[in-house]
Structure 1
Amino acid sequence: MDKRITEAVELFQEVLFYGTERVIRSVDNPIWEEFSPEQMQSLKLISKEGQITSARLAILQGVHKSAVSNRIKKLLQKELIQVVQTADKREKLLELTDLGRQMLEESDRILAEYLEKLMSEQVNDQEIDQFLSIFRKLRTIMKTDGV
């Protein structure tokens, strides 16, 4: 296996894990105090999918359905998501409420402002463009792979 790919995976994981921790520690905002990173990730995935089953959410988050069940319960209680009944009575889909969309938009705005400030003196425009190009390509590859 190409050692560069192994290093890229390790770097990506480090940025994801330690970056999340740093943002949570550094950003003084009630949103980040009220909701766990896993709940925020759930909201983001529901937003991206539009409507999603709890089983699919568990797969995307790489956890057991019981872990997702607990997150869903809390997000339903806070009225950030709602259950949509389908023609198949056994299948229930989750989607964001207007309040959930507003909260997620606010969270994304806070995160973007923080990262922009953090990177502004150390990452130039060309590097940002390269990053975007690579991650757009990876997203396309991953989405065509049936995920």
Structure 2
Amino acid sequence: MKNQLQEAVELFEEVMIYGTEHVVKNLDVPIWNDYSPEQIQVLKILAAYGKLSSGQLAEIQGVHKSAISTRLKKLVEKDLVQSEKDLNDQRINRISMTSKGHEVLSVSNAAINESIEGLFTDQIDEQELDQFIKTFRKLKSILVTKER
């Protein structure tokens, strides 16, 4: 089982690398001219987790707090995120998406989904897709449970 898990991890990493390369090289999404992949990723993280501190964002994105600070400054200037004091601890600022941030993320996600759908149509059957979804739901559940 250890070898299978290692292969699964390696395959997942490779799919992420090749998938990202495909999206970056083959999609012409006008909003991507205005926002970096890292900024879009911040929006994706906020959509998944809700309000977070800049430290939490840095940890999730795997970067130094200074990198997040720069990204957040640009996203605030573009009205995609907002910062508000934490209700329980006024020393902490919580970052959340604005309605414009949700719109930008929606356009980005739609373009990615359309591209992936076109790429996989006639390549993956419904049964394979159902198994993929079942497996990834289970993995997500395990990861979410371990984090909390």
Structure-1-length-normalised TM-score? 0.94
State the partner residue of 2:120.
119
What is the distance in 2 between the residues matched to 1:18 and 1:36?
18
State the partner residue of 2:97.
96
CA-to-aligned-CA distance 1:83-132 (integer Å, 9 cap, x gap):
02223221100000000001111111111111000000211111111110
What is the distance in 1 between the residues matched to 2:31 and 2:17?
19
State the partner residue of 2:46.
46
State the partner residue of 1:16.
16
State the partner residue of 2:129.
128
SS at 1:51 equivalent: coil
Which structure 1 residue ranges, 5 or more long, are not aligned? none
What is the distance in 2 between the residues matched to 1:68 and 1:127?
38
What is the distance in 2 between the residues matched to 1:33 and 1:25?
13
What is the distance in 1 between the residues matched to 2:2 and 2:55?
34
What is the distance in 2 between the residues matched to 1:7 and 1:31?
36
CA-to-aligned-CA distance 1:5-38 (integer Å, 9 cap, x gap):
1111111111112211210110111122322221
* Alignment length (residue pairs): 147
1:26 aligns with 2:2: no
1:2 aligns with 2:16: no
Q: Which amino acid aligns with 2:94?
A: L
State the partner residue of 1:71.
71
What is the distance in 1 between the residues matched to 2:9 and 2:97?
31
Which structure 2 residue ranges, 5 or more long, are not aligned? none
What is the distance in 1 between the residues matched to 2:2 and 2:128?
23
SS at 2:16 equivalent: helix
Conservation of the 8 A alpha-carbon contact between 1:80 and 1:96: yes
RMSD of equivalent CA atoms: 1.3
